[in-house]
Amino acid sequence: MAFSLAIFLVLLIGFAVFYRSIPTPKPLYPLVKVREIENILAKYFPYYQQLLLPQKKEFLKRVMQFMQQKQFIPRGFKPVTLEMQAMIAASAVQLTFGLPEVSLAHFKRILIYADDYYSTITRKYHRGEVNPRLQAIVLSWKSFVEGYADVTSGRNVGLHEMAHALELENMIENEDYQFFPTEAQQCWKGLVPYYIEKIKRGEASFFRDYAATNAQEFFAVTVEYFFENTVEFERQHPELFYTLATLLNQNPLVNAEIAVG
Ligand SMILES: [Zn+2]
């Protein structure tokens, strides 16, 4: 009896040591900050507002992961607020919500200007851009906010720049590489020149003219319409709409059905 008690105690101590050695995941943020981020999304981010509760949890988790992975750099003002970080991260998560393995890994920096900024290269004012060499996504906070203030305008610089980053990410050989389904990508490549020509001829008035600049701008602009003029986009150009939905693995018309796990 004493012997079996000794074995039991040894096993118990062994288990306790083993249990203690299992690393507990470090929380991303203190609870009070999590609540603050949650409140920002609930107040200002329409995409988040229409999600079901389990999806909201997943969305929030991914927003916080994005915030931790990226360096937010203010340009000409101070400081970058929690609201700026959460909203910009949320636009990236919105675009990639159907692609849970994609974190825009190449882009390590988010450069933020308070307003539209002058580029000495293009000699124009910019609302945003993506710079793969600097591994940076650049945004004018003023224009970013305007994009989410009216989510039916079809203009959203946050989604636009994230779309450029996403398309590049698919080509850059790293952990985020070739995540677009091949068949859908081929289909998309086949449709783009046809639509660009249509816009140039003034026949596809649904998309703004800027979409016809090149294939990259076409992708970025259609992403804006995909989230902001969803119903009309699907009605007018279903083939293009469903190809984009396949690429992004989500459909804003039925996003409540996205499985999270
Ligand atoms: Zn662009």
- For residue 252, how far is its CA from the centre of ligand 1 (angstroms)? 22
- Asked if 229 and 218 touch (Cβ cutoff 8 Å), the reply is no
Average pLDDT over residues 145-173: 95
Query: What pLDDT was estimated at residue 180?
Result: 95
Give a three-class secondary structure readout of 208-221.
CHHHHCCHHHHHHH
Q: What DSSP element (H or E) covers 74?
A: strand 71-75
- For residue 82, how far is its CA from the centre of ligand 1 (angstroms)? 26
- For residue 140, how far is its CA from the centre of ligand 1 (angstroms)? 13
- For residue 78, how far is its CA from the centre of ligand 1 (angstroms)? 26
Q: Which residues surround ligand 1, an ion (CB under 5 A)?
A: 217, 220
Least trusted range by pLDDT, from 16-20, 130-134, 180-184, 207-211: 16-20
Tell me which residue has tokens 């933020």: 112
- Asked if 84 and 72 touch (Cβ cutoff 8 Å), the reply is yes
- For residue 217, how far is its CA from the centre of ligand 1 (angstroms)? 5
Reported as a single tens digit per residue, the pLDDT across 85-130 is: 999 999 999 999 999 889 999 999 999 999 999 988 889 999 999 9
Structure tokens at 177: 């590489």
Determine the Cα–Cα distance for residues 114 and 80; give it in Å rounded to an integer. Answer: 10
- For residue 222, how far is its CA from the centre of ligand 1 (angstroms)? 11
pLDDT band at 174 (very low <50, low <70, confident <90, very high): confident
Angle at 92 between CA 101 and CA 133, to 5 degrees: 90
- For residue 161, how far is its CA from the centre of ligand 1 (angstroms)? 6
Between these two residues, 83 and 122, which has the higher pLDDT value?
Answer: 83
Determine the Cα–Cα distance for residues 17 and 261; give it in Å rounded to an integer. Answer: 31
- For residue 160, how far is its CA from the centre of ligand 1 (angstroms)? 6
- For residue 42, how far is its CA from the centre of ligand 1 (angstroms)? 28
Query: What pLDDT was estimated at residue 5?
Result: 55
Determine the Cα–Cα distance for residues 227 and 47; give it in Å rounded to an integer. Answer: 9
Q: Where in the chain is the domain with CATH 1.10.472.150?
A: 26-173
Average pLDDT score over the chain: 90
- For residue 143, how far is its CA from the centre of ligand 1 (angstroms)? 14
Topology classification of domain 26-173: Cyclin A; domain 1 (1.10.472)
Q: What DSSP element (H or E) covers 121?
A: none
Q: Which residues sit opposite 125 in a β-bridge? A: 118
- Asked if 174 and 105 touch (Cβ cutoff 8 Å), the reply is yes
